[in-house]
Each structure stands twice: as C-alpha cells, then as structure tokens.
Structure 1
Amino acid sequence: MSELVAALPMYDWPEVRGEVDAQWGQLRDAFRQKGIDAPQAIARSNGDLPPVPGGIHDAQGALIAPDPSTLPPGELDYHKLWLHPALLFAQTCWGPMELGLSSHVQVIGQPSYDAYEGGQGELYSSALVMRTGEGPEARSPADGKALLPLDLFRGKRFTFNSLDSMSGMIGLTRDLQAAGESLDIFSSRSESGGHRASIVTVAEGRADVAAIDCESWALAQRFEPAARKVAIVGWTARRKGLPFITARTTPEKTVWAMREALASLSEQPRIQRVG
C-alpha cells in the first residue's frame, strides 16, 4: 500500500466526486505504468493524511506546519496538504505559490481549460458576476484581456473566496491596478470561504460582485441553484491556471516520470504538460 499522498481538492464539489475519482484513476494508472507507487485513492480530509510526528519542517529544519494528525480529521487544510512531505500529486493555486508555497513544492504541470468559457490551454480567467439584471452580460474577450465594467463596480460590495486566491482576489486586484483603480472601488469587501459560497452570497444580496474562476463557474451552472440568479458582467485577464505540484523532496526521476505520464495523457481535455 502506497504511503504517498494524492489529492485533487480544488474542484472536488460533492456532486462531481465520481468524476474527480475517475480523473485520479486515469492519472494513477498512468503514473503506475511509469513505475510510480501512486496511491489507490485521493485524500479528502486531514484524517486521510499520514501522521508527521513532530510536525512538518522545511529544508532548513524550521517547523512550517503541525502534524496533520493533530488537525480536525473530518476537514481538509489545503496548506497542510500542500506542505506534506509525502505529497506525490495535488493541485494548488498560483496565489499561495506566489506567497511562499513555491519554495516548498515542485511544479509538475498545468491542466487545460479549453473546455470552459474564459479558458485557453493552460490559461484561465475569472467571471465577474453580479445579480441578474444589474448590468449587461458579457462574453469572455477573445484576446484574453480584462473586461472590467468599472462604473458598475463603483460603490458596490465585493465578496471573495480567500485572500490568497489568484482567481477570486489577486487577479482582479492586478487588473484593477492596471486600469488605474484599486479594490477601493468597492464600498466593502468580505471573505466568503469559497467560490460557490461567493455565488450564493451575491445571489442572496449580501454582496454585489464576485470573481469566480471559469471552471468553478461551469460547475455552478451544473449544480448550484443560486447561479441562476447571477450573471457575468465582466472578466479578469487570462493567467496560468492551477498547477499540479509535488513535494520538494520528491526525487527528480519521479518528477520527470510524472511529467511524461501527463504528456501521455495530453490528448485528454483536463491534462496538459508543463512547459
């Protein structure tokens, strides 16, 4: 039984867990064909993570995270997952990567977002949503540039999934700055805890604007009733999507084997090799 950890938590909505499991099965089998001892199933909670007695340490020996066995077993702490020394394969966001995670992990590859409006290859963008009828609806710009209805946003309440999210906060912040504005264009800002929660928050009138990455928006169209009450009024610029990562201690031979496995799956709609 593999002692390694794999997870695909970023789009693992309850309604699509079977699809996510199938995606991992495809990846797992490709990895095993390369001689990698990939785990049978993905981790979905802190309780699924192997204990790390004494906590997780960085390359210099500094403690950077507690032993996962000390965390609530029914929850999943993304940051502890990403930092776990047994991490073979997971997906993260470029927000946390830019804020320090990149020094503790290695990038394996990028998924393709071709299946979604707002996506192109390894690039994705976020749909800027408001309640239906509060502004003209907007399609994703063909050139991938930001489409910001600044007059609509001015004085409105903004909600976001998390401060370190590229799709929900950082990307829009940068696009506003490029347009000579800032988050101060909004009258208030609140943290929802997730893209799905942001959609519900806007639909229920507790906020007016949210930035939802294009894949999460596609999931919401399928499964979140509140999405019928909101509409896209703009888009952030396209940026690199969520990278696949592995622990910094994963051997180079294994990293390259996983990249070769991803390349062998490149005909599939969700997988794209790095570089």
Structure 2
Amino acid sequence: MSELIAALPMYDWPEMRDEVDAQWAGLREAFRQRGIDAPQSIVRRNGDLPPVPGGIHDAEGKLIAPDPATLPPNELDYHKLWLHPALLFAQTCWGPMELGLNKHVQVVGQPGYDAYEGGQGELYSSALVMRTGEGPQVRSPADGKAVLPLDLMRGKRFTFNSLDSMSGSIGLTRDLQAVGESLDIFSSRSESGGHRGSIVTVAGGKADIAAIDCESWALAQRFEPAAQKVAVVGWTARRKGLPYITARTTPESVRRIMAEMVAPDLSYTPFANSARR
C-alpha cells in the first residue's frame, strides 16, 4: 500500500465525487505505469491524512503545521493537506501559493479550462454574479480582459470564499486596483467559506455580488439551485488556474514524470462534456 497521499479537493462537490474519483483513477494508473507508487484513492478528510508525530516542519526544521492526527477528523484542512510531507499530488490555488505555500511545495503543472466560459488554456477568470435582474448579463470577453461594472458594484455587499483565494478575492482586488479602485468600492465584505456558499449568499439576499471562478460557476449551474437566481454581470481578467502541486521532498524525477502526464494536452478537462450543460 502506498504511503503517499493525493487529493483533488478544489472541485470535489458531493455531486461530483464519482467524476473526481474517475479523474484520479486515470491519473493514478498513468503514474503507476511510469513507476510511481500512487495511492489507490484520494483523501477527503483530515482523518485520511497519515499522522506526523511532532508536527510538520519546513526544510529548516521550523514547525509549520500541527500533526494532522490532532485535527478534526471529519473536516479537511486544505493548508495542512498541502503541507503534508507525504503529498504526492494535489490541487491548490495561486493565492495561497503567493502567500507562502510556494516555499513548501513544487508545482507539477496546470489544468486546462477551455471547456468553460471564461477559460482559455491554462487561464481562467471569475464570473461576477448578482441576483437576476439587478444588472445586464455579460458574456466572457474574447480578449480575457476584466469587465467590471463599477456603477453596479459601488455600494454593494461583497461576499467571497476566502481572503487567500485568487479567483474569489485577490484577482478582483487587482483588477479594481488597475482602474484606480479597491475593495472599498463595496459597502461591506463577508466571507462565505466557498464559491458555492457565495452563490447561495447572493441568491438569498445576504450579499449582493461575488466572484466565482468559471469552473465552479459551471458546476453551480449543474448542481446548485441558487445559481438559477443569479446572473453574470461581469468578469475578472484571465489568470493562471489552479496548479497541481507535490511536496517539496518529492524527487525531481517523480515530479518530472507527473508533469509529463498532465502536460501533453493542456486543454483536457475531466468534466468538459458535462460542464457545457
């Protein structure tokens, strides 16, 4: 049995479990055919993470995370997952990477987003959503530049999945700064805990606007009833999508093989056919 771990948590909605498992099965077999001892299944909870007695330390020996065995077993702490020394393969976000995670992991590659409106190759953007009828609907621009309805946004209540999210917060912040604005354009800001939660919050009238990455928006249109009550009124600029990562201790030869396995067809997206619905 492999002592390594893998996870694909970023789009692992309950309704998507079978498709995410199938995605991992394809990657797992490709890795194994090249001699990598990939785990049979992905982890979805702290209780699935191998214990690290004494906690997780960085290359200099500094403690950077507690022993996963001390975490609530039925939750999943993304940051502890990403920092785990046994991490073979996972998804993360460029927000946490820019905020320091990049020092503790290695980038394996980028997925493709051509299947989704707002995506192109390895780049993706976020849909700015408000309740239906509160602004004209806007299609993703061909040039991938930001489309910010400033007059609509001003004075509204903004909700976001997390402060360290590139798609939900940081990207929009940068786009606003590029036109001489800031998040102060909003009357209030609140954290929803996830893109799906942001959609529900806006649809329910507890906030007015949110930035939802284009793949999450496609999933919401399939599975989240609240998505039928909101509409896209703008877009953030396209940026690099969620990177695949591995632990800093993963041998370069292994990282290179995995990079080859995910790189040949950057336009490949495991949910492409269903996401167009």
TM-score of Structure 1 vs Structure 2, range by shorter chain: over 0.9
Deviation of 1:263 after TM superposition, in Å, equals 3.4
For 1:97-122, what per-residue CA distance to the aligned partner results, in whole angstroms no more than 9, with x for missing partners? 00000000000000000000000000
Find the counterpart in structure 2 of residue 254 from structure 1: 254
Give matches, 1:1-275, under 5 Å.
1-263=1-263, 268-270=268-270
In 2, distance between residues paired with 1:194 and 1:269? Answer: 21
For 1:132-154, what per-residue CA distance to the aligned partner results, in whole angstroms no more than 9, with x for missing partners? 00000000000000000000001
Deviation of 1:257 after TM superposition, in Å, equals 1.1
In 2, distance between residues paired with 1:267 and 1:108? Answer: 16
Instruction: Quickly say closer, same or farther: Cα 1:268–1:148, change in 2 above 3 A.
Output: closer
For 1:187-242, what per-residue CA distance to the aligned partner results, in whole angstroms no more than 9, with x for missing partners? 00000000000000000000000000000000000000000000000000000000
- SS for the counterpart of 1:198 is helix
- SS for the counterpart of 1:233 is strand
In 1, distance between residues paired with 2:94 and 2:264? Answer: 25
- Which amino acid is the alignment partner of residue 196 of structure 1? R
- Which amino acid is the alignment partner of residue 127 of structure 1? A
In 2, distance between residues paired with 1:49 and 1:79? Answer: 12
User: Is 1:112–1:270's contact at 8 Å kept on the other side of the alignment?
Assistant: no
For 1:76-114, what per-residue CA distance to the aligned partner results, in whole angstroms no more than 9, with x for missing partners? 000000000000000000000000000000000000000
- SS for the counterpart of 1:200 is helix
- Which amino acid is the alignment partner of residue 233 of structure 2? V
- Which amino acid is the alignment partner of residue 153 of structure 2? F
In 1, distance between residues paired with 2:111 and 2:267? Answer: 12
Deviation of 1:262 after TM superposition, in Å, equals 1.9
Deviation of 1:260 after TM superposition, in Å, equals 1.8
- SS for the counterpart of 1:142 is coil
In 2, distance between residues paired with 1:96 and 1:10? Answer: 13
In 2, distance between residues paired with 1:40 and 1:264? Answer: 23
Instruction: Count residues in correspondence.
Output: 271
More displaced stretch, 167-176 vs 258-267: 258-267
Unaligned segments of structure 2, at least 5 residues: 272-277
- Which amino acid is the alignment partner of residue 91 of structure 2? Q
User: Is 1:113–1:270's contact at 8 Å kept on the other side of the alignment?
Assistant: no
Instruction: Quickly say closer, same or farther: Cα 1:114–1:267, change in 2 above 3 A.
Output: closer
In 2, distance between residues paired with 1:47 and 1:265? Answer: 34
Deviation of 1:268 after TM superposition, in Å, equals 3.5
User: Is 2:110–2:262's contact at 8 Å kept on the other side of the alignment?
Assistant: no
* Seq. identity, %: 83
User: Is 1:156–1:187's contact at 8 Å kept on the other side of the alignment?
Assistant: yes
In 1, distance between residues paired with 2:249 and 2:69? Answer: 21
- Which amino acid is the alignment partner of residue 191 of structure 2? E
User: Is 2:113–2:267's contact at 8 Å kept on the other side of the alignment?
Assistant: no
User: Is 1:111–1:270's contact at 8 Å kept on the other side of the alignment?
Assistant: no
In 2, distance between residues paired with 1:150 and 1:266? Answer: 34
TM-score norm. by structure 2 comes to 0.96
RMSD: 1.1
In 2, distance between residues paired with 1:173 and 1:267? Answer: 28
User: Is 1:109–1:243's contact at 8 Å kept on the other side of the alignment?
Assistant: yes
In 2, distance between residues paired with 1:6 and 1:264? Answer: 21
- SS for the counterpart of 2:38 is coil
For 1:169-188, what per-residue CA distance to the aligned partner results, in whole angstroms no more than 9, with x for missing partners? 00000000001100010000
